[in-house]
Structure 1
Amino acid sequence: MKKELIVLVADFQQKTVIETLLEVLYQALGIRQLVSKKELDVYSHPYRAPGVYQEASNFLSIFKSQYRYALYSYI
């Protein structure tokens, strides 16, 4: 069974913001609540924004068979 969402971000602060938005503020975003943290994985890139900008598609493509959706943010 596939997990729901994988997210690639530039740093730890973005990781914390994304996790909070998806776990706490899901109603305000108009999305359904993720049943558990097992449905969501958020990774921060070791090379921060340039790493996400240059390598997001390669990184996320590795996981395409394991997740239903993928997002990335480098801002």
Structure 2
Amino acid sequence: MKDMEYPNEEAKEKFEEIMLRRLRLLYGIDVSEMEIINISLGESSVEPTIRIVLIDSTEEDCIRVFEIA
């Protein structure tokens, strides 16, 4: 996995917003109380993936990891 690189802070914020929206739509989870720690890209050419690591503030010390193909 390779950490995402962004051209500027605005692009990073917009991409994170889009990824949170996708998580809400794909998994039906409430992401309003979650904060993104890291987004990384899978380096496989067969099935590229995006891994999103979040802190869930609704549960104590809870880290969630999602992969989107």
Structure with higher strand content: 2
TM-score using structure 2 length: 0.32
Q: Which structure has more RCO (C-alpha within 8 Å, separation ≥ 6)?
A: 1
- More helix, by proportion: 1
